[in-house]
Amino acid sequence: KAGVTQTPRYLIKTRGQQVTLSCSPISGHRSVSWYQQTPGQGLQFLFEYFSETQRNKGNFPGRFSGRQFSNSRSEMNVSTLELGDSALYLCASSLAGAPSGNTIYFGEGSWLTVV
């Protein structure tokens, strides 16, 4: 069974640009969540999608958005990039999300560097 797949793994963008990251969850999983990891703030929850609907949202500005498709694949978009957006972005999938008690599996992440 394939794991959570994230693309691209590494990318460099310029301030002011936008970026789209993609995540393919484990087959059969309907919940996809996104997390940002930085050395200063650690791992922070961005948002969760379940059956194409955003179910939960963390405390991030509106520049961070996402969506989920009918096949459960998800994308997140960051517009008007700032230097502080440089981070490892992690996608996680599970059958039903937290706090259902399902194991939540993470992908390898997308390393975003903003210059």
Contacting positions for another protein (CB under 8 A)? 4, 6, 33, 35, 42-48, 55-56, 58-59, 88, 90, 92, 97-99, 101, 103-109, 111
In whole angstroms, how close is the CB of 16 to another protein at the nearest point?
26
CB closer to another protein out of 45 and 75:
45
| Closest among 92, 95, 79, 83 to 28, alpha carbons compared | 95
In whole angstroms, how close is the CB of 79 to another protein at the nearest point?
22
CB closer to another protein out of 18 and 54:
54
CB closer to another protein out of 16 and 84:
84
DSSP 8-36: -SEEEE-TT--EEEEEEPPTT--EEEEEE
In whole angstroms, how close is the CB of 10 to another protein at the nearest point?
10
In whole angstroms, how close is the CB of 73 to another protein at the nearest point?
17
CB closer to another protein out of 15 and 57:
57
Q: Compute the Cα dihedral for 64, 33, 43, 26 and give only its sign.
A: negative
